[in-house]
Structure formats: structure tokens, C-alpha cells
Chain A
Amino acid sequence: MAKNCHNDYKMKFTGEEEFPDLSLHNNHMAKVLTKEIYGKLRGKSTPSGFTVDDVIQTGVDNPGHPFIMTVGCVAGDEECYEVFKDLLDPIISDRHGGYKPTDKHKTDLNFENLKGGDDLDPNYVLSSRVRTGRSIKGFTLPPHNSRGERRGIEKLSIEALASLDGEFKGKYYPLNGMTDAEQDLLINDHFLFDKPVSPLLTCAGMARDWPDGRGIWHNDNKTFLVWVNEEDHLRVISMQLGGNMKEVFRRFCVGLKKIEEIFKKHNHGFSWNEHLGYILTCPSNLGTGLRGGVHVKLPKLSTHAKFEEILTRLRLQKRGTGGVDTASVGGVFDISNADRLGSSEVDQVQLVVDGVKLMVEMEKKLEKNESIDGMIPAQK
């Protein structure tokens, strides 16, 4: 979907006449956006021309779900988070556990700071994965970028990734021009991403010009994967079978750093600031943008009355093995960090490592019909 939002005629109407009808809406934007805030922001735009109507269009078009709280807004460039802070700061606070406009976010991609994580029991932990996103400074974001910008990002990404070697030696597959054989293999490896169908994304303008400028890169070992120009400029994923999260995180940090160096050399580092950490399209991914998780067998623990409480205390969340909003199959859950902003990468992966270790121990106890009452953790 395209955007209205550069329609100059709208300024002939009052803020009241232009204010969206949010009466049936349940998302962060609808909770926060008042007529006063709208009135204050409607005449503004970022230097690249992104307006408050651009920011909120996806939330207007997608009222939300009674049970799932979607964000309902996106950024079109780095400056959005500054120009529209009256709207975005409260949303960030709401979404990220009370994070204040004055708070500072800590970045720590030093994998050596992670304690343990190499001994999660592979009888229970089937696979481990860490993903994040990165935006490239000097380009507007997927809801807003032009074809020239998107192609510029792709070109830089191809150069950067082509210069990787050793365990990171790999190949780029542009979506445009992929052979059938390549496509089948990428699907079988569960690497291929397709044109977004979710209206949350299409209403924000992220699918424009598909598949121009989009592609997938992965290393020969198939343990490090980069998506170019999907929901963010870059999505970076490190993964492998088994429970060695330490190794997954090491590869994640090393690979990311190498890529960042190359982008910096071209005067296009990653967008970052000390308040919001890494700047991404969706406010929910600010900070680390990191989701570190495992697929783990917890058939007994997951049916225990205290399962949800344990997860909350460990600052973890569960998903089915198909990803967000899917059901678990055979007692296997996707367990990952719940936080993104306000704690570092090492902090978040540490929570996953320690928390999963504890839950596997609980699972083993329940298998032996022993109580886990003495093991319930304190709130982290």
C-alpha cells in the first residue's frame, strides 16, 4: 500500500478533521496518539519528508487484535525518532517496560562476556539461534526508501558480504533472477523470505517495488544468514542445531562486527545512538533488535501451573516452533528473550542461556516426579 501522507492539501483541514478514527483500535499507537499530539506533529516532517501520517498509517489500517498488542507505527528514517518523539517516546516506554526518554541503552557485542552457554543439554535443546536487524546510516528505511536507495543498500551489502572469508565465506542470491533450483534449496533450508503478505507490513509501504533490491546471503556452512531489504535494511541470523548458544553468539558477534567495519569504511555505518541503541524500522526492535532463542523440549514444564510465571520471572517468552503466534508441537517450544531495549546483547543472551538451563533442570525434575517449588526463580 502506498501512502497519502505527502498530500499538501491536508493542511487546509484542521487537526480535528484529519485525526484518524481509532475507536475500534487496539495498538500502541492508538493508545498514545491524542488529538493534541496529532495537532502538534501534523505540520512536521523529517528532512527526507516522512510525516506523522506516514508513521501511523499502518496502525490506522490495522486496528489490531483483542489479544495481541501490535505497535501500529513505523519509522521512515533515523530522524523520525527525534522529530516525532512526542508520539514515539510514550510508545517506546509502553512497549519496552517503562523505558524513559532520558534512559541510556548499553550495547555489548563482546561474546567473551557471555558466561557458559556451551553446555545446554542437546537431548532437550534441539537448536539455537540469534537474530537482529541493522539499519544503514544515510538511507531512509523500508517504509520510505526509494528504489535508488534500496539498490544502493543492496550494492553496499553485496560488497560487504563478498569480502567475508573463512567461516563467513558465502554467496548472495538476489530475489530477482533466482533460478528455480536455487529457490528450492533456499526453501528447503528454511532461508527464503517471500514478499510480505501481512497487512501490518504492506500498509507501511515495505513491499513497494518487490522484489527489486531484495536478496538473501548465507555462508557455505549455512550457519550465518543475512536478509537484505526485507523488513529492515539487514536482518542478521546466526544458528545451528543443538545447544551450543555460546558458539552461535560468538559467530553472531564476530560476523556482525566484520560487516559493520566494512560498512563504516564506506561511510555508511549502522544507525545507532546512546538512547535507542540500534535504530530499526519498528519501535519494538529498538535497542539490541536481538532475539536469542532455542527450540527446547519441555513437555512437562509447559503443562505445569507455574510455567508462565517462570517465564515472566526469567524475562523470557515462548512461541511455537513455527515462530510468533504458532502452537508448539510435541512439547517443543521456542524460548527467547522478551526484552530488546534497556539491556545489552550479552545481558539478553545470558538471560536465555541461564533461563533455559534452569528450565531444562526443572523438566528433568518433573520427569522424576520431583517438585520444582524450591527452584522457582526470583524476578530478574
Chain B
Amino acid sequence: MSDNIENIELLGTIGIFVSTPDSNSPQIRQQGSAMPFGNTHNKAKMNYDSDQEYPDLSKHNNHMAKILTPAMYERLRSKETPSGFTLDDIIQTGIDNPGHPFIMTVGCVAGDEETYEVFKELLDPVIEDRHGGYKPSDKHKTDIDPANLKGGDDLDPDYVLSSRVRTGRSVRGFCLPPHCSRGERRAVEKLSIEALASLTGDLNGKYYALKNMTDAEQQQLIDDHFLFDKPVSPLLLASGMGRDWPDARGIWHNDNKTFLVWVNEEDHLRVISMQKGGNMKEVFNRFCTGLTKIETLFKERNHAFMWNEHLGYVLTCPSNLGTGLRAGVHVKLPNMSKNAKFEDVLKKLRLQKRGTGGVDTAAVGGVFDISNADRLGFSEVELVQMVVDGVKLLVDMEKKLEKGQSIDDIMPAQK
């Protein structure tokens, strides 16, 4: 018996999981952070020096490739977060997806909340580059009090066809989708089901687990444009987010089909509020009310949302830090969109355009998806305010152009 214990302790110090008779006996295992040389899932890689392990990024065009130098790689390669996420885990998706000459992808993901701290040397510059110069010392303001939004209930429905606000949330105490185990993912699902089941009134709804959905349910969710499918994008797959599909993934929506939650897709939770027409105020009201209720329920179960005063809400992709919020409308701007100043106006308003199929699609019939460009460094109220004010102005401009009038005197200043 004593031999066994000695062996276990010895094996523990060189970082090997030690077998125990069954899964109920206490697991004796190596704490990753205590390992003398840190990180490795593949311990053999520490037999090689940093130059031999440094990835070939010569054809790459993403934020990670711009920032990760060989010297930085050397300093970070032996670290790991308490759950065992390493630098190589973070950057694998950026290595496997060199990027696009015109689209700047992020090229890295977080595996847990601690990733952003342990690997700040890499992630702070990535965040700064992606979020308009956001500094490591900056503070992010969260404001999901819908009463602070001015107006937004009177966007012209002849032009504004639909309004939508989405965000993501991570549940503290669990690793993120690139890294979470099946047990963790199922626990996130279980907590989510409990929390959502206790919503009432306008938010009364139902959960549909992906793995035992009936054909009828599936068809309905497809028709409603609610159903999400296994990721096919190599950006997501290369980071490990598709593992064990469809285990513990599901969709919840309220009976009115105006509030939707995705469980365990790209983030632990994706929360969406939407409706036809231009009443962004109502959409945002429901968004804030629903989110706040859900957050309270999670907090009661000792699993609050991941948040800190520097990065705001912590999500899997660094591009979604802060508010994680994209608020947008589908709006008819056939004249405005052909105007030479369209791009400039959008930039000044801090808005971005997409086709109505989402990111990277083309506009159809002059209808554009217009949403906030920022995520971090502005509050939710501020971002939705920009959308509300900006879209109102764009519609005014559209109306002027329809009448053959100039828009020069209503050009906005840079926000």
C-alpha cells in the first residue's frame, strides 16, 4: 500500500494521470499549473525548442498571425490555465485557417475565463487590434437598463422591416466550447434548461434538445429560421467546438417566437430578441429583461455569467468581448446604398452593413442588415442607441434621396 502511494506521488510530480480502481474513488491527478514545465497536452513537444515548434505563419492573414512572434511563442509555450488550456490550443484554429486576403479573422479562441489572463501577452494586442485600440488598462461599461435607451420605438416600418439584438454569455465555472468536456457541456445544458423553464409571461417557452428533436419540431424550427446546425466552418471546427455533436446542444424559444436562446453552440449561450418592424425599443426591452432574469437564475445556482470590469462579458472569440452585442435592423436603402457617401456615413455612425443572409452575404433588393460595429468599450445601451439614431438618420437620408434632395447638410460627425 505504501509503495503504491509513493508511486502515485512520484507519478504525480511528472504529470501523469494515475489510474484509480473506479471513477468513484478520489482521483489523484497532476495539477497542470504545478507541472515544472507547464502546459503540455503533448508532453513530447517540450523536448523540442521553441523554434522547432513555432508554427509556419508565412501565408497567414489573421490577428493571431500578425501578433504572435517567435519570442512571444517561446515565453508562453510552457504555460497553461488551471483547466489545462495551452497556447497551442488557443492558436490552432488560426494556424489551420490562414485567413482571407480581405477578411481579417481573429485566429484564436479562449478555452476558459483564465485564458485571457494567463495569455494576456498574446490576447491583449489581439484585442487592441480588433477593438479599435482598446488598452489593457481600459475599463468596459455594462449597461443593460432599457430605460436608458432614448427613442427607438418609432423607426419607420415602411423602411425598417425587422429589428434584432443578440449577444452571448458564458457560464462561470465551466470551460468554453473549444475545451469543455461532455460532463461540463451537459451541466451547462441542465442549468440552462432549469433557468429557462422558470421564465413566465411573455417569456414562457420551451426547450428543444438537438439530439432528440422530432422531424416535425425540426421542420418548424427550420421554417422559423431558429434551427442551428453542426458548424461546418473550419474556423469553428479547428478549435474543437464541433466535438460530441449534437450532445447537450439545444434551442429554446418563447411561445411568441420573439426571444430565442441557443445552448452550447459557439458560446455557452447565445441570446436573441427579435420581431418584425422597427420597434427596436421593445426588442431591446425584452432582450434586457430576459437576460437579466436568466442571469439572476444562474447566479442563484452559483454559476453567474463570466464578466470582469476590463473585458466585460467573457466569450469564446475575442471579437465578441465586452457586450458581445450585435443590434441590427433589416432596412430598405436602395438609394442611400448607391450614394457615394454611404460607406463614409456608416463609418461615422459606427455602423456596419451586411447582406440579409448575415455576415458576408450580398444585399437583396436594396435591403441591408445594418448593425453596430463595436462590441468592447461601449455599453449595450450606447451601442443600441447608435443603431437607433443611425438608422433613423439613414432612413431620413433615403427619403431625401427619393425626393431628389441632397443629403450634404445632414451628414453626421464621427461618433
Question: CA of A8 to CA of B84 in the docked complex: distance in angstroms?
Answer: 6
With A18-B181, A21-B211, A43-B19 in contact, do A145 and B52 touch (Cβ < 8 Å)? no
With a cutoff of 8 Å between Cβ atoms, the chain B residues found around residue A9 in the complex are 83, 174-175, 180-181, 184
Main secondary structure, interface of A, reads: loop
Which of A6, A14, A42, A50: most chain B Cβ within 10 A? A6
The answer to whether B95 touches A42, judged by C-beta atoms less than 8 angstroms apart, is no
The answer to whether B242 touches A61, judged by C-beta atoms less than 8 angstroms apart, is yes
B243 within 8 A of partner (CB) = yes
With a cutoff of 8 Å between Cβ atoms, the chain B residues found around residue A41 in the complex are 19
A179 CB to closest chain B CB (Å) equals 15
Question: CA of A13 to CA of B56 in the docked complex: distance in angstroms?
Answer: 38
The answer to whether A140 touches B243, judged by C-beta atoms less than 8 angstroms apart, is no
With A144-B42, A212-B55 in contact, do A149 and B48 touch (Cβ < 8 Å)? yes
B53 within 8 A of partner (CB) = yes
B40 within 8 A of partner (CB) = yes
With a cutoff of 8 Å between Cβ atoms, the chain B residues found around residue A208 in the complex are 92, 95-96, 238
A310 CB to closest chain B CB (Å) equals 42
Question: CA of A9 to CA of B187 in the docked complex: distance in angstroms?
Answer: 12
The answer to whether A146 touches B45, judged by C-beta atoms less than 8 angstroms apart, is yes
The answer to whether A40 touches B27, judged by C-beta atoms less than 8 angstroms apart, is no
Within 8 A of B (CB), among A199-231: 202-203, 207-210, 212
Name A148's contact: one of B52, B85, B92, B211 (CB within 8 Å).
B52
Closest to A15 in B: B23
The answer to whether A49 touches B40, judged by C-beta atoms less than 8 angstroms apart, is yes
Name A2's contact: one of B84, B180, B186, B238 (CB within 8 Å).
B238
A44 within 8 A of partner (CB) = yes
Question: CA of A39 to CA of B47 in the docked complex: distance in angstroms?
Answer: 31
A3 CB to closest chain B CB (Å) equals 7
The answer to whether A11 touches B27, judged by C-beta atoms less than 8 angstroms apart, is yes
Within 8 A of A (CB), among B90-133: 92-93, 95-96, 111
The answer to whether B183 touches A18, judged by C-beta atoms less than 8 angstroms apart, is yes
Within 8 A of B (CB), among A26-84: 39-45, 47-51, 53, 57, 60-61
The answer to whether B245 touches A61, judged by C-beta atoms less than 8 angstroms apart, is yes
The answer to whether B16 touches A20, judged by C-beta atoms less than 8 angstroms apart, is no
A151 within 8 A of partner (CB) = yes
A173 within 8 A of partner (CB) = no
Q: Encode contact with B along A114-125: 1 for CB under 8 Å, 0 otherwise.
A: 000000000000
Name B84's contact: one of A7, A19, A209 (CB within 8 Å).
A7
With A2-B239, A149-B45 in contact, do A209 and B23 touch (Cβ < 8 Å)? no
Which of B20, B52, B54: most chain A Cβ within 10 A? B52
A373 within 8 A of partner (CB) = no
A139 within 8 A of partner (CB) = yes
Within 8 A of A (CB), among B151-194: 174-175, 178-184, 186-187
With a cutoff of 8 Å between Cβ atoms, the chain B residues found around residue A13 in the complex are 181, 183-184, 187
A305 CB to closest chain B CB (Å) equals 40
Within 8 A of A (CB), among B195-246: 211, 237-240, 242-245
The answer to whether B55 touches A147, judged by C-beta atoms less than 8 angstroms apart, is yes
With A14-B24, A61-B244, A208-B96 in contact, do A146 and B42 touch (Cβ < 8 Å)? yes
B156 CB to closest chain A CB (Å) equals 47
B43 within 8 A of partner (CB) = yes
Name B56's contact: one of A17, A45, A145, A212 (CB within 8 Å).
A212
With a cutoff of 8 Å between Cβ atoms, the chain B residues found around residue A51 in the complex are 17
With a cutoff of 8 Å between Cβ atoms, the chain B residues found around residue A210 in the complex are 96
B303 within 8 A of partner (CB) = no
The answer to whether B31 touches A151, judged by C-beta atoms less than 8 angstroms apart, is no
The answer to whether A145 touches B42, judged by C-beta atoms less than 8 angstroms apart, is yes
The answer to whether A209 touches B18, judged by C-beta atoms less than 8 angstroms apart, is no
B82 within 8 A of partner (CB) = yes
Which of A1, A15, A209, A210: most chain B Cβ within 10 A? A1
B3 within 8 A of partner (CB) = no
Question: CA of A203 to CA of B56 in the docked complex: distance in angstroms?
Answer: 22
Name A17's contact: one of B17, B52, B186 (CB within 8 Å).
B186
With a cutoff of 8 Å between Cβ atoms, the chain A residues found around residue B183 in the complex are 10, 12-14, 17-18
A152 within 8 A of partner (CB) = yes
B32 within 8 A of partner (CB) = yes
Which of B48, B49, B181, B184: most chain A Cβ within 10 A? B181
With a cutoff of 8 Å between Cβ atoms, the chain B residues found around residue A11 in the complex are 27, 29
Closest to B45 in A: A146
B89 within 8 A of partner (CB) = yes
With a cutoff of 8 Å between Cβ atoms, the chain B residues found around residue A163 in the complex are none
Closest to A209 in B: B95
Name A3's contact: one of B44, B175, B211, B240 (CB within 8 Å).
B240
With a cutoff of 8 Å between Cβ atoms, the chain A residues found around residue B89 in the complex are 2
A188 within 8 A of partner (CB) = no
Which of A4, A19, A144, A145: most chain B Cβ within 10 A? A4
Question: CA of A18 to CA of B95 in the docked complex: distance in angstroms?
Answer: 29
The answer to whether A1 touches B52, judged by C-beta atoms less than 8 angstroms apart, is no
With a cutoff of 8 Å between Cβ atoms, the chain A residues found around residue B18 in the complex are 43-44
With A15-B23, A44-B19 in contact, do A53 and B181 touch (Cβ < 8 Å)? yes
The answer to whether B53 touches A148, judged by C-beta atoms less than 8 angstroms apart, is yes
Name A43's contact: one of B27, B41, B182 (CB within 8 Å).
B27
Name B44's contact: one of A14, A61, A145 (CB within 8 Å).
A145
A176 within 8 A of partner (CB) = yes
The answer to whether B44 touches A44, judged by C-beta atoms less than 8 angstroms apart, is no
Question: CA of A7 to CA of B85 in the docked complex: distance in angstroms?
Answer: 7
Closest to A36 in B: B22
B343 within 8 A of partner (CB) = no
With a cutoff of 8 Å between Cβ atoms, the chain B residues found around residue A42 in the complex are 23
With A2-B239, A43-B29, A49-B43 in contact, do A7 and B48 touch (Cβ < 8 Å)? no
Question: CA of A15 to CA of B19 in the docked complex: distance in angstroms?
Answer: 13
With A7-B84, A10-B183 in contact, do A1 and B245 touch (Cβ < 8 Å)? no
Name B244's contact: one of A60, A148, A176, A202 (CB within 8 Å).
A60
Question: CA of A50 to CA of B53 in the docked complex: distance in angstroms?
Answer: 19
A56 CB to closest chain B CB (Å) equals 10
B362 CB to closest chain A CB (Å) equals 28
Name A40's contact: one of B19, B179, B238 (CB within 8 Å).
B19
The answer to whether B184 touches A40, judged by C-beta atoms less than 8 angstroms apart, is no
The answer to whether B242 touches A39, judged by C-beta atoms less than 8 angstroms apart, is no
The answer to whether B244 touches A7, judged by C-beta atoms less than 8 angstroms apart, is no
Question: CA of A41 to CA of B19 in the docked complex: distance in angstroms?
Answer: 7
The 7 closest A-B CB pairs, nearest first, are: A148-B48, A13-B183, A10-B181, A15-B23, A146-B45, A2-B240, A6-B41
| 11 CB-based A-B contacts, threshold 8 Å | A2-B238, A3-B243, A7-B180, A19-B182, A42-B23, A47-B43, A61-B243, A61-B245, A148-B53, A149-B45, A208-B92
Given contacts A9-B184, A148-B45, 8 further A-B contacts (CB under 8 A): A7-B85, A7-B181, A10-B183, A11-B29, A18-B181, A40-B23, A61-B244, A149-B42
